[in-house]
Amino acid sequence: MELPGEPSKREVITTYCPANNEILSGPWDRPAAFMSTLLINQPQYAWLKELGLREENEGVYNGSWGGRGEVITTYCPANNEPIARVRQASAADYEETVKKAREAWRIWADIPAPKRGEIVRQIGDALREKIQVLGSLVSLEMGKILVEGVGEVQEYVDICDYAVGLSRMIGGPILPSERPGHALIEQWNPVGLVGIITAFNFPVAVYGWNNAIAMICGNACLWKGAPTTSLISVAVTKIIAKVLEDNKLPGAICSLTCGGADIGTAMAKDEQVNLLSFTGSTQVGKQVALMVQERFGRSLLELGGNNAIIAFEDADLSLVVPSALFAAVGTAGQRCTTARRLFLHESIHDEVVNRLTKAYAQIRVGNPWDANVLYGPLHTKQAVSMFLGAVEEAKKEGGTVVYGGKVMDRPGNYVEPTIVTGLDHSASIVHTETFAPILYVFKFKNEDEVFAWNNEVKQGLSSSIFTKDLGRIFRWLGPKGSDCGIVNVNIPTSGAEIGGAFGGEKHTGGGRESGSDAWKQYMRRSTCTINYSKDLPLAQGIKFQ
């Protein structure tokens, strides 16, 4: 309670870079009167309380909710208005949470994998019940359009469904032994505690990829989401916690420590974190990898992408144009799989650029939670500044902006989706991943040169060609084709399905999440030889007697 004449209570705010979770500015103060304008207190946002959110939310969960760290406020990118507050984890909160998570793991690891799958199934069902409201929160706090926000929750639901089946399939082979009366088997066990650091751009789905698979493998999870999407982290954890509570399981199996670079660094250096999954920038990922490797730990890295679409002279332009549009403009260019380079055969270059420019002009811009909108804001003001800097640099290096290139005259962090032509494929700005809707367009003459251009960037995440030539398709998929982890034909670079392994090569980090055999990243294997005979033959025919 404030007394007359006393200074207003003030709240400490720190701003973080969403690409790497590093501190950009702060701490700084806002008056307490400012907090009355929180969106969560406004009638049109009352639905936020359906997710268990309130004006100030505890950002630590380890079986019980708490948090003794700094209080931050998260903002809506569409209007830069404050949504609600989150109290982050302190160093002591982190240590306590790790301890409880490891204790919970001892219980969880003893539960048979199919039974663990049943719990994950229930988590998927709980997410289904909240899919619209949680998707709306993703749209409000991250800034992506509503269909993408809901789709992101659906992706978590899908990976839960996938993990349920996988829980009855994980395991190793029985191998033939060269020794009579011996069995040779491969045993897979959980690694223990999996740390999961996620980025702002997919604040639900990437955690879901890791969480669902790690859980059925028998691991406990410790999550640190991006500070700018902390409300999403809290809301998702509340849904999971209810399922664990209903099944009389320790909540710390799925722990949460909201925080900034200090918590992320603690996770990277902590020998009690058996595997650290990190999604973010290549720059920070490199630091994470070094810290984890220094303690001989395991890391799973999902880092940047400088992705290309290649359209040959025989390409179906009715596929090329919408694919390039979605891949370059979807999520306002803030996907790791966003198309940033478009290589067009010289015979179709002008026509495709003309069609694409017309398509850009028809993009419906607006509040991301409006159902008919296709294009929303960038996540932060800092991202807008990076966009403007990249456009100016492209001009300096000889590029021509044929569409966009400016900040939109409206509230929030809106920029025009941008097309740049005339640059050399080796230009410095082209080789710099800018998390914004900027598409660099180039002409090429032949297959050999354009395959080389695709591979010349440091990252190796996603790539796609458009052609009807069967031989070219298989050369593209082969050892001298694309060097990326995702190699597509006649579809965009973005929009991966959960059934395949997701990840990339080179500076993208080499990690694989989601489907295929990505589950192996969350387990350790032992080769076991069992002698059930009464003799003791040695391998390789060695006699030792």
* Residue partners of 174: CB distance under 8 A and separation at least 6: 183, 184, 185, 186
d(CA 306, CA 272): 34
Q: What's the alpha-carbon Rg for the chain, to the nearest Å?
A: 25
**Could you tell me if 381 and 80 are in contact, meaning their C-beta atoms sit under 8 angstroms apart?**
yes
How far is 88 from 103, CA to CA, in rounded Å? 22
Q: Cβ neighbours of residue 475 under 8 Å, at least 6 residues apart?
A: 447, 451, 481
Which residues touch 307 (CB under 8 Å, ≥6 apart)?
Answer: 327, 337, 338, 339, 340, 341, 459, 461, 462, 463, 464, 484, 493, 494
Tokens of 275: 């595997």
Q: Could you tell me the CA-to-CA distances from 26 to 30, 72, 148, 437, 486 in Å, in that order?
A: 11, 11, 31, 28, 39
CA 423 vs. chain centroid, Å, equals 30
Phi-psi region of 477 (alpha: psi -120 to 50; beta: other; left: phi over 0): alpha
Q: Is 505 a catalytic residue?
A: no
CA distances from residue 157 to 154, 184, 245, 302, 443 in whole angstroms, order as listed: 5, 37, 19, 21, 41
Residue 61 and residue 251 in contact, taking contact as beta carbons nearer than 8 Å: yes
| ∠ CA 314-320-322, rounded to 5° | 160
Q: Are strands 505-506 and 459-460 parallel, antiparallel or unpaired?
A: antiparallel
DSSP notation for 209-276: HHHHHHHHTT-EEEEE--GGGHHHHHHHHHHHHHHHHHTT--GGGEEEE--SHHHHHHHHH-TT-SEE
CA 217 – CA 13 distance, rounded (Å): 38
Q: Please classify residue 202 by burial: count the beta carbons closer than 10 Å to its beta carbon, then call 0-12 exposed, 13-18 middle and 19+ buried.
A: buried
Catalytic residue among 302, 433, 447, 513: 302
| DSSP one-letter string for 120-168 | HHHHHHHHHHTHHHHHHHHHHHT---HHHHHHHHHHHHHHHHHHHHHTT
Give the 3-state secondary structure of residue 70: coil
Does residue 525 contact residue 172 with C-beta atoms inside 8 Å?
yes
Query: Active-site residues: which are they?
Result: 302
